[in-house]
Amino acid sequence: MWYVSTRGIAPRVNFEGALFSGYAPDGGLFMPEELPQLDRETLCQWSTLSYPGLVKELCALFIGSELLPKDELNDLIDRAFSRFRHREVVHLSRLRNGLNVLELWHGVTYAFKDLSLSCTAQFLQYFLEKREKHVTVVVGTSGDTGSAAIESVQGAKNMDIIVLLPKGHCTKIQELQMTTVLKQNVHVFGVEGNSDELDEPIKTVFADVAFVKKHNLMSLNSINWSRVLVQMAHHFFAYFQCTPSLDTHPLPLVEVVVPTGAAGNLAAGYIAQKIGLPIRLVVAVNRNDIIHRTVQQGDFSLSEAVKSTLASAMDIQVPYNMERVFWLLSGSDSQVTRALMEQFERTQSVNLPKELHSKWERQDYEKMAVMECDGCCVELCLGNCGPRRGSMTDIPGTAMVRGGG
């Protein structure tokens, strides 16, 4: 499997290349060159798999056994989930009226990022050991990412992790999660300022290409393809748990509500949909509503400042992974995506081209709508069994809140 940049200029890379890259050299994000199509038979076979089983199948599909043999891949994934508290790793709780909650919080730090980061760290360690290399992961955090990244990397032989922790901006529990891991390879620094201000020095460091190369620095944020890949399994697992039978024509549609900040899990769901999973995606944002404005009005523009809400993990100005969504929407058109993103980087404000926005509405609006929950947000991923009824806002229970991750 090859990966190409959404901006079409950088040379293609394999999974290992994408795993270590973060951004592509042309500023884009890596995406699979071709998306496989899963047929009904494959979906039926997958429908009885456990959550780790689904992660294994999806990773095998997108990594390639010449790079990572299947049995070794399976071991890495088993190791990644070995410290989860729930025997299923991910659990679907059934509420009333066909409403379900996908419990993604059974990892060590309780953040759903534990799932994808633990696998990603295993992949990194695997390739580093094989190539006898070492990296230092540098992470700024508003809470969830720091804890989960530390947990996934702690004790790894070929990795160190440096976390910048904005003092007073994380919860007490998160602060303790970050400062009480006594492993040689974990380095946490308390810093002044909020997570936006914290991004500045990190950006400066990563802009110094020679420095980054000399010290083998990398980031582990949600633009990393490996994280998106693993998150596809959430959608497959939820789908199969919600569909009692796959004998109907067409296959049943399940609606998944994705709380989003950087649109990582959303991009994962959209790719899952593109390769054949019959889901309808609903994006939940908080007052940081750039994705809402983009879908409704084609207005992809920064607001003045990040607004603090109860769900700090979603208090994000720039939803990086929307670039992947735009690329998919445009039919893998890297020219359109590049023009759009470069204009956004220059002016921080883009009106989506009509063709793109209308495509979204006509073809994908049915599959992607946006729900806004003022102040707080839905911090749960919901699958709605059975055919669609009415609009998103009439589904009860979506105001359930889990603040701050």
Give the catalytic positions in this structure.
113
Residues that bind ligand PLP (rule: CB under 6 A) add up to a total of 16
Q: Binding of ligand PLP at residue 263 (CB under 6 A)?
A: yes
Closest Cα to residue 213, out of 282, 135, 276?
135
Taking the least distance from each CB to ligand PLP, the nearer of 159 and 290 is 290
Q: Exposed/middle/buried for 282, CB within 10 Å: 0-12, 13-18, 19+?
A: buried
What is the nearest approach in angstroms of ligand PLP to the Cβ of residue 236? 16
Q: Binding of ligand PLP at residue 146 (CB under 6 A)?
A: no
Question: Coil, strand or helix: which one is 313?
Answer: helix
Q: Binding of ligand PLP at residue 260 (CB under 6 A)?
A: yes
Q: Binding of ligand PLP at residue 140 (CB under 6 A)?
A: no
Residue in 106, 113, 234, 287 binding ligand PLP, rule: CB under 6 A:
113
Structure tokens belonging to residue 75? 């071991």
Within 10 A of 271 (CB to CB), how many other CB atoms are there?
Answer: 23
How far, in Å, CA of 32 to CA of 36, rounded? 9
> What mask, x for binding ligand PLP by CB under 6 A, covers residues 206 to 235?
----------------x-------------
What is the nearest approach in angstroms of ligand PLP to the Cβ of residue 66? 30
Q: Binding of ligand PLP at residue 262 (CB under 6 A)?
A: yes
Q: Which of residues 360-389 bind ligand PLP (CB under 6 A)?
A: 379
Residue in 140, 146, 166, 259 binding ligand PLP, rule: CB under 6 A:
259
Residue in 265, 273, 294, 398 binding ligand PLP, rule: CB under 6 A:
265
Q: Are strands 30-32 and 100-103 parallel, antiparallel or unpaired?
A: unpaired
Those residues with Cβ within 8 angstroms of residue 200's Cβ, 6 or more apart along the chain or in another chain:
none
Structure tokens belonging to residue 129? 């050991």
How far, in Å, CA of 234 to CA of 348, rounded? 32
Alpha helices in 275-353 (DSSP H): 290-297, 322-329, 334-347
Taking the least distance from each CB to ligand PLP, the nearer of 68 and 230 is 230
Taking the least distance from each CB to ligand PLP, the nearer of 32 and 404 is 404
Q: Binding of ligand PLP at residue 261 (CB under 6 A)?
A: yes
How far, in Å, CA of 377 to CA of 405, rounded? 11
CA angle 394, 397, 402 (to 5 degrees): 135
Taking the least distance from each CB to ligand PLP, the nearer of 263 and 385 is 263
Q: Which residues bind ligand PLP (CB under 6 A)?
A: 111-113, 144, 222, 259-265, 313-314, 379, 405
